Amino acid sequence: MWKCPKCGRAFKNAEQDHFCGNISTIDDYTADRSPDVQPLLHAIRETIRAAEPETIEKMSWQMPAFWQGENIVHFATRTKHISIYSGGEATAAFAERLVGYKTSKGQFSFHLAIQLTMR
């Protein structure tokens, strides 16, 4: 068993990715992440804000979310990737541009090692 040094929760897997703490805003979420990842999170947030300026920012499902009558898009960091959750329409619309990335219905992921070397 591995115990998170931050929140004290015990997990079967060492270095288990999980949510701990009391994060209530996107700013809190970003500040809680690795300094290497923070610029990517800022870029994702600003891109979404530019594309959907009427949305409301909030935390939902322990992830940053943009809401307009319903959740439009979420994003989250994991140990080795950043995922964007936006519904099946977005994944289908950007299918050509997402070739080579991990995708599933309504979700696509970018491996952090790839993104960190692209700066």
pLDDT tens digit sequence for 57-76: 999 888 999 999 988 999 99
pLDDT in tens, 84-106: 998 767 788 888 888 888 888 88
Mean pLDDT (whole number) for 18-47: 88
Smallest CA-to-CA distance from 16 within 24, 25, 4, 6 is with 4
Residue among 45, 48, 15, 52 nearest 30 (CA): 45
- Band of residue 19 on the pLDDT scale cut at 50, 70, 90: low
**Is the whole-model pTM more than 0.85?**
no
- Round to whole Å and give the CA distance between 39 and 20: 21
The mean pLDDT value of the chain amounts to 84
**Which positions ≥6 away from 35 have C-beta within 8 Å?**
none
d(CA 97, CA 38): 24
Burial classification of residue 119, based on how many CB atoms lie within 10 Å of its CB (0-12 exposed, 13-18 middle, 19 or more buried): exposed
pLDDT surpasses 90 at 11: no
